[in-house]
């Protein structure tokens, strides 16, 4: 088993997929062509709706890739909302910057170029929402940084917590054994952390959604 949803369900759900502009379609095609992982359609629509509901003023994204989810989040933000996004890949950074320019969202987006573990300690202002979509082996190490930067009652949104379905298996497929173990370790921490009220949803590749508790244990 390497899928969360199967062909029939995906085909049905895609009949409700929202129409997007040319740039989004171009980015989806580019990501597919170059095998650059981006947030799947159902997950990004869920994230867009979440942003419209909570109306965050400050969003942090860890893992920009080509800027696909960055742009879609920026479009859903309130008028004065901003996104800070971090990317290490020298191949992805110019693509992301080009896409930001095409989107007209430049004023809402600030890209930090480099290793997130070097950048995050230098950030001091709190965020209303943090989106984690980076290298899975680093998820556990990112959590302390995220908890420091996330406001009380802030939202943490995490992608790939079912990891192609492999994180749910006792014996993951060859090529997934190490990464599936790393995701499972994060999931355990994510679901039991005393500062978070968390759940994992079977949307896309498994979405983690948590709120940072305002008081210890509450």
Note the pLDDT of residue 1: 34
Per-residue pLDDT reduced to its tens digit, 51-106: 999 999 999 999 999 999 999 999 999 999 999 999 999 999 999 999 999 999 99
> Is pLDDT larger for residue 13 or for residue 163?
163
Per-residue pLDDT reduced to its tens digit, 8-35: 877 888 888 888 889 999 999 999 999 9
Report the CATH number of the 7-212 domain: 3.40.50.150
Q: Quick one: pLDDT band at residue 141, thresholds 50, 70, 90? A: very high
Q: Is 162 helix (H, G, I), strand (E, B) or coil?
A: coil
CA nearest neighbour of 109 among 151, 65, 59: 59
């Amino acid at each position: 088993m390497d899928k969360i949803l199967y062909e029939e369900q995906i085909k049905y759900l895609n009949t409700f997929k929202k129409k997007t502009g040319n740039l989004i379609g171009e980015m989806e095609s580019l990501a597919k062509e170059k095998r650059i992982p981006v947030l799947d359609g159902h997950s990004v629509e869920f994230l867009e709706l979440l942003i419209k509901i909570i109306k965050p003023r400050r969003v942090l994204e860890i893992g920009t890739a080509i800027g696909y989810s960055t742009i879609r989040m920026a479009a859903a933000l309130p008028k004065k909302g901003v996104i800070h996004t971090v990317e290490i890949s020298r191949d992805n950074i110019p693509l992301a910057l080009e896409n930001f320019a095409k989107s007209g969202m430049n004023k809402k987006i600030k890209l930090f170029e480099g290793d997130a573990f070097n950048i995050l300690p230098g950030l001091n202002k709190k965020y209303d929402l943090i989106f984690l979509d980076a290298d899975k082996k680093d998820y556990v190490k990112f959590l302390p940084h995220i908890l420091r930067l996330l406001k009380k009652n802030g939202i943490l949104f995490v992608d790939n917590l079912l990891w192609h379905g492999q994180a749910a298996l006792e014996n993951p497929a060859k090529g997934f054994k190490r990464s599936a173990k790393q995701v499972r370790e994060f999931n355990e921490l994510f679901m039991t952390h005393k500062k978070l009220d968390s759940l994992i949803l079977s949307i896309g590749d498994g979405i983690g959604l948590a709120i940072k508790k305002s008081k210890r244990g509450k």
